[in-house]
Amino acid sequence: MASAAYLGLLPSALGFVIWAYAVARLPLAVSTAALYLVPPVALIVSFVWLAEVPRPIALAGGAISVAGVILISRHQRNHHPIDVPVVDASEPQGAACA
């Protein structure tokens, strides 16, 4: 029973609170890209706390995840919104054709 309460409170509830905090303060694309950092962080935690030695395929997957986050973050910094023409609301839509 205690383990179920632990799993419900710490990883689940705390994770959602941290996620809401990040989304409220960062752009959505950046905070979503941060989710891809979960596998590499899990690899580091398992290596440090559990003394597990990751397999080469796990290291390759972590490297691909980090590379994806870097690419998404770099794209967001260089992205400029497209200029959208302003429509005059006072002119009826069909007036120009008549």
Q: How far apart are CA 93 and CA 72, in angstroms?
A: 39
Locus of tokens 């609170």? 17
Report pLDDT for 86. 61
For the cut 70, the answer to whether the pLDDT of residue 93 exceeds it is no
Report pLDDT for 88. 62
Average pLDDT over residues 28-54: 82
- C-alpha closest to that of 68 among 28, 23, 35, 25: 35
Report pLDDT for 76. 62
Q: How far apart are CA 76 and CA 79, in angstroms?
A: 5
Report pLDDT for 84. 56
The whole-model pTM stands at 0.48
Cβ partners under 8 Å of residue 60, min gap 6: none
Cβ atoms of residues 37 and 65 within 8 Å: yes
Q: Which tokens sit at 68?
A: 């994806």
- 32-44 pLDDT, tens digit per residue, is 877 777 777 887 8
Q: How far apart are CA 62 and CA 42, in angstroms?
A: 9
Average pLDDT over residues 68-88: 67
